[in-house]
């Protein structure tokens, strides 16, 4: 599943290169992206994930969100069982 980003992406090449560098480092790494509201944190992340075939999840406690995440995982891992039996509760999701 690909995302289409239509807004102009301005002055974020340095941040994008930082994410690329750490993504390709070969090590497990955690990167925290923080800042004021409405400055493009989510857009930056989505732009990066577009390049890497990554999965974006906005963690909200509702069934639709969790089921969508589950189906994205099923597609990513090519898992027919998960595709036929999506996760519908957070209790089950903590066991995967």
Q: What is the pTM of this model?
A: 0.61
49 with 60, same domain: the answer is no
Q: Does residue 41 lie in a domain region?
A: yes
Q: Does residue 95 lie in a domain region?
A: yes
61 with 44, same domain: the answer is no
Task: Quickly list H helices, 1-96.
Answer: 13-23, 41-52, 63-77, 80-84, 90-93
50 with 75, same domain: the answer is no
Total of domains in the chain: 2
31 with 43, same domain: the answer is yes
The residue among 44, 23, 24 whose CA lies nearest residue 34 is: 44
Alpha carbon 11 to its chain's center: 22
Confidence band of 46 (pLDDT split at 50, 70, 90) = very high
Confidence band of 63 (pLDDT split at 50, 70, 90) = confident
49 with 71, same domain: the answer is no
Residue 27 vs residues 21, 24, 73: alpha-carbon distances, Å: 11, 8, 22
68 with 96, same domain: the answer is yes
50 with 60, same domain: the answer is no
Residue 59 vs residues 16, 78, 87, 90: alpha-carbon distances, Å: 23, 23, 14, 10
How does pLDDT run across 6-44, given as a tens digit for each residue? 456 678 899 999 999 999 999 999 898 989 999 999 999
Average pLDDT on 63-77 reads 88
């Amino acid at each position: 599943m690909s995302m289409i980003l239509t807004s102009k992406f301005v002055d974020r090449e340095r941040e994008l290169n930082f994410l690329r560098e750490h993504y390709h480092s070969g090590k497990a790494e955690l990167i925290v992206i923080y800042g004021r509201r409405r400055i493009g944190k989510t857009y930056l992340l989505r732009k990066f994930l577009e390049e890497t075939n990554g999965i974006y999840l906005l963690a909200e406690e509702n069934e639709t969100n969790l089921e969508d995440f589950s189906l994205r995982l099923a597609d990513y891992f090519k898992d027919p069982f998960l595709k036929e039996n999506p996760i519908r509760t957070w209790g089950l999701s903590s066991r995967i």
